[in-house]
A and B are shown apart, each in its own frame.
Chain A
């Protein structure tokens, strides 16, 4: 099968506008007869669900939490990018496009990224109209800050709770449509398979998580907005329930999975504190705006950080990357932290942490504030006090979170941080319309692979989720649905629904009946360890080969020895977990296969065999400038399909942040 990305003809900057106005329309009377299933209620799903319903489609939305407002997007902290150029600092659509392609280490599609940059400006307008309380300046205009990998200030934010505010905006739009009867909401429902009829996606099988009943739902199209798969590593910054199940079932039904090995390890997270750890907490990248990262110059220096004088500190990011300093992209910052810790300069009880220090920012801000107030001779004490108040206003909730978890006060003592799994650039392969390789099956937001190449820039996931949901799918779905107006709703006693439901049921019964010895978490944790050690921040062929064998063995053991308590016809969180871990145990292997295939280092994928003399990632554009799209052939077999990437508007260069 040849992958057709359906990128419209014409100059880059006209593609979307021209294409958008040429997509066939569906008339309002027909829209009322067309049913769309949206799985997921995060930024992508809530925005898509609300907008499609506003347009007149009959929409059903599913999520596994008890309310759509709790989707994992709620946890996003730092901000959302948009090429508004409100700061007049030289930003433009082209620059956001360029930064994203470069940040992604030249492994994403030009046309998709350009469209993303174009619609970014509409997102901010839409959110403000909904009443999203973004941070503002005293003049009443919107405030911005910078994020890694860029030299302009284009990030909009609401303290450290940007995802919450954006999601509540999209959720309110969704609830409005639910109230009007245009959307039927199915919370506490988990999609467990896609139903295909004549090769097209025609619905899903979902489990009602309260009573365990399996339900069949028909849709003329199915839109997966089910988030990322970072939890394959067990420990990640993702919410506990985040999973790959929906995307993985889609893969098994014919949707190719693209670039599964492209995962993002975020440089600033609270380090692991012990065996009991269930998840990791992010300290937003926005903290790198003002915080400085350092380790002692001496190995195993056990002095208290405030006792280590300035000239005995190694601000290694500022040293290695003077042009971007603490604001290098995530992959670069993470590897640099690992390098220092591996070399013995790490701090804290485990030596697996570096400092993120706010002392100088507090003083800088304090002086600014004192000047503003006309207190030109303010004492050091007063300057600190003013500085702390300002830092609190910008990052208060993050500092509080840090203190709650660690028991340390970050206003006084530098924070200890270490990289952790955070985001997955890989996902379902989609064309320009966001359709997967299964007709009628779409994928939006983090669940697709489309825009971030091998590394995502900070504050761009929220942008992508909302772009896909508010401004892309409402148009592109018309390309497909306009041809479906003659398809009546298919009754769910159709043989395909029956067969798929039976398969789902058998799998659930199987899990319950193993009645083995070890809890699900044991397998999840073991898988996570393999993935982190061998398919994490750096990878090599030997390790990946071992990992594949170990995962296969673990999977086998899981299916023989896992214990899932309770029954399938009741509220049973352990059963939910078991199903998700079973899918992770298959995905993990594919990630290693993909990482093994990609004989180069790019973005978040660092192959030890491929690095420059000073330890930077060494890309191989000659041979690997493609999207790796994997077809699931069943029985753990996968076939690679390549989508070659063509760069017509950007000159490919070795990425440098020096």
Chain B
């Protein structure tokens, strides 16, 4: 396959960026999207240029590091698929592909396609945990949890923290990410003691980081590579409301 790539280039957060066009041949349909970028970079390096910087690590859809906005969609055209799992068989010979970084005020660009998502970690620090020190736990089977609850907590816990939901949202909201953690722990008995403070603290930090509000647009759910459901947002809204009411008493 032969392709034309329009890639976003930006030296760092302080300067402006622009698109750069590259042609690339010999793309095999069995390549992953990132392997195609590897080939592009080898080509750029050999001709003395500066290769495209991008984030990636596991290349199997689980670490959440890869983050490309491809033809106007986070992680590209396929649903339930991260950039690294996208394969070139999803494109046609002669296609032009536009590649951009996640765009959000809360995710400043580091270079080219790599952005700073440390805001997510700070939201987690605000409450995305159960406060239990090592060594305090009782026997695991002394706390039976129904299979339904465990499974539904697991579905929420499958979030990889990639930030595609933010990139997809017209308001740049992080609600899907935050609600996935809130709802995982809300569905488990272990999460109950801190249920109210957790949701309040995480939401507070989310707002502080500059993420936008949620207007139920639902683009996040469509673009989430792990198909995290927006039902989690509904649960979080309920919990947030009841936590706020409780604290007003």
Contacts and interface: CB of A to CB of B under 8 A. Distances in A.
A179 B59 contact: no
Given A131-B184, A470-B134, A571-B114, A69 B121 contact: yes
B245 interface: no
Interface stretch (B91-99, B185-193, B210-218, B231-239): B185-193
B53 A175 contact: no
B86 to A, nearest CB: 8
Interface string B187-207: 010110000000000000000
B57 A405 contact: no
Interface in A183-201: 185, 187
A474 B134 contact: yes
B97 to A, nearest CB: 17
Contacts of B80: 400
A653 interface: no
The residue among A65, A84, A163, A517 with the most chain B CB atoms within 10 A of its own CB is A65
A210 B110 contact: yes
The residue among A67, A124, A178 with the most chain B CB atoms within 10 A of its own CB is A67
B63 A173 contact: no
Contacts of A47: 134
Given A136-B147, A239-B63, A407-B87, A175 B128 contact: yes
B117 to A, nearest CB: 6
Contacts of A141: 141, 144
Given A50-B134, A405-B85, A278 B34 contact: yes
B208 interface: no
A316 B131 CA distance: 50
B129 A172 contact: yes
B145 A140 contact: yes
B116 A133 contact: no
Interface in B1-49: 11-12, 28, 30-32, 34-35, 38-39, 41-42, 44-46, 48-49
Contacts of A571: 12, 53, 110-111, 114
Interface residues of A, number: 80
B137 A178 contact: no
Contacts of B209: none
A8 to B, nearest CB: 21
Interface string A527-560: 0000000000000000000000000000000000
B70 to A, nearest CB: 15
Contacts of B81: 404
A6 interface: no
The residue among A66, A163, A277, A281 with the most chain B CB atoms within 10 A of its own CB is A66
A86 interface: yes
Interface string A54-72: 1000000000011111101
B135 to A, nearest CB: 7
A137 interface: yes
Nearest to B201: A179
A163 B44 CA distance: 36
A281 B157 CA distance: 22
Interface residues on B, range: 35 or more
Nearest to A404: B85
Given A165-B157, A175-B129, A281-B60, A54 B87 contact: no
B141 A129 contact: no
B84 to A, nearest CB: 9
Nearest to B190: A131
Contacts of A124: 140
A138 to B, nearest CB: 5
Contacts of B121: 67-69, 175, 178, 185, 187
B124 interface: yes
Given A137-B147, A165-B157, A179-B125, A65 B134 contact: no
The 7 closest A-B pairs by CB, nearest first: A140-B144, A179-B125, A172-B129, A129-B137, A125-B137, A133-B154, A128-B140
Interface of B: 11-12, 28, 30-32, 34-35, 38-39, 41-42, 44-46, 48-51, 53-65, 80-81, 85, 87, 89, 110-111, 114, 116-118, 120-121, 124-126, 128-141, 143-147, 150-151, 153-154, 157-158, 160-161, 184-185, 188, 190-191
Given A173-B132, A404-B87, 4 more contacts: A67-B120, A129-B137, A175-B124, A565-B44
Interface of A: 47, 50-51, 54, 65-70, 72, 74-75, 84, 86, 122, 124-131, 133-142, 158-159, 161, 163-165, 168, 171-173, 175-176, 178-179, 185, 187, 210, 239-241, 273-274, 276-279, 281, 400-401, 404-405, 407, 470-471, 474, 517, 519, 521, 563, 565-566, 570-574
